[in-house]
Amino acid sequence: MLSTTTTLQQRREAAIPRGAATKHPIFISRAAGAEVWDVDGKHYIEFASGIAVNSTGHLHPKVVAAMRDQLERYAHVAFPVAAYEPYIAVCEKLNAAAPISNARSCLFTTGAEATENAVKVARIHTGRLGIVTFTGSFHGRTSLAMAMTGTVAPLRSDVPPSHAGVYHVPFPIEHHGVAESDSLKALEQLFRSTISPDQVAAIVIEPVQGEGGFYQAPVSFIQTLRKICDTHGICLVADEVQSGFGRTGKFFAIEHYGVEADLIPVAKALGGGLPLAGLIGRESIMNSAVPGALGGTFAGNPVSCAAALAVFEVIEEENLLQRAAAIGERITSRLRDLKRRDYVLPIGDIRNLGAMAAFEIVTEHGGNTPDPEATKAFAARAREEGVLLLPCGAFGNTIRLSTPLNITDELLNEGLERLTKALLQVAK
């Protein structure tokens, strides 16, 4: 008799195109908090959190109660047809939390919608076309967002960029040979030889790259970009789709940099597991768009909004910003200890900003040469040991760790033990 997993895999292959890929060949049956179980009963500890979505864990009781209560009232009316209080309340929360003066917000469904609408608003406000993004970035899979994304495989494989006016500048990663000064020189060269800064609507950057490898932009780099934008009338867009909602130890990663962004796209953790995204921006910029230019049929779904309001409450009541810092320190402390051991898989750079933690797997101890094949093997072995995590990065050798921010110490330690076992097994 075939296992349930094998049967579902056969059904999947017969029904779904290969482009809709899944990192791990398992099928989830149930989930709670920081734990999931597959259809064959195997237990896993969450170090992926649905790609940083489940920051309050799977099915947090407060989030579930809010969803249930809203479902008993109404599930969908479409904000473009008739407004409702949960949408307004979420925007009020976003405006209050964002490090933007005189903020206004509107809601969408996905992160790609949020980033594309940030570009739309910036273009309307400035009357310009040009957009500058960075190598290694990820801004979504829709057409414009994909053109903005600074990675080819697999996101843009066989799909060349199709949007005029989008330019990429190297993201500064010192240990991979790109200094901050190199990035600024490349931006200066772009402005000198390809597009004048007075033709640029926005510079879009992830303060901490998500799919790109959890690389942190240097503080001075972001501050210099702010000055460049101020000088030339360019909108600075901080893409916080993955780094927002407490993941870095502050509500937004841009708060670590001492500057205000003009626009902040958000998504992922906002909806507590339901699809919800938003765009926060300065009032003078956001109001540049005429009535009807922003929104969508499912944008700001009432049930998703109810879940989001509960997420805000959980973050505050459970002190998840402080918890994120503690989680990050515990993870990186264990990784630094493992890096010193010559009998585990070689570990290169270790980095974190709060609970947004990552490490690189390299070919030899003490080096920085990426080892993507060993990284794939390690991720697979970690799954076998019962911990779900995700490789990422342009070099394919970064392991990102995105636990729920309310994971217990017991489960966090057990997950790190399983991770350690996987590092030992792959090294043999």
**Edge-to-edge strands, sheet with 347-353:** 347-353, 356-361, 398-401, 390-392
What is the per-residue pLDDT for 427? 83
* Residue owning tokens 């339901």: 274
For residue 321, give the nearest of 386, 414, 252 by alpha carbon. 252
Contact (Cβ atoms closer than 8 angstroms) between residue 89 and residue 309: yes
Domains in the chain (CATH in brackets) are: 4-56+319-427 (3.90.1150.10), 63-317 (3.40.640.10)
Instruction: Note the pLDDT of residue 161.
Output: 66
Helix then strand then coil, in percent of the chain rounded to 5, is 40, 20, 40
The confidence score (pLDDT) of residue 7 equals 96
Contacts of 291 (CB under 8 A, 6+ apart): none
What confidence score (pLDDT) does residue 136 get?
96
Give ∠ CA 31-37-42 in degrees, rounded to 5.
165
Q: What is the pLDDT of residue 12?
A: 97
Distance CA 405, CA 55 (A): 5
**pLDDT at res. 267:** 98
Positions of the chain with pLDDT under 50: none
Please report the pLDDT score of residue 117 as a whole number.
Answer: 98
* pTM, to two decimals: 0.97
The pLDDT assigned to 233 comes to 98
Pick from 248, 247, 229, 280: nearest CA to 98: 280
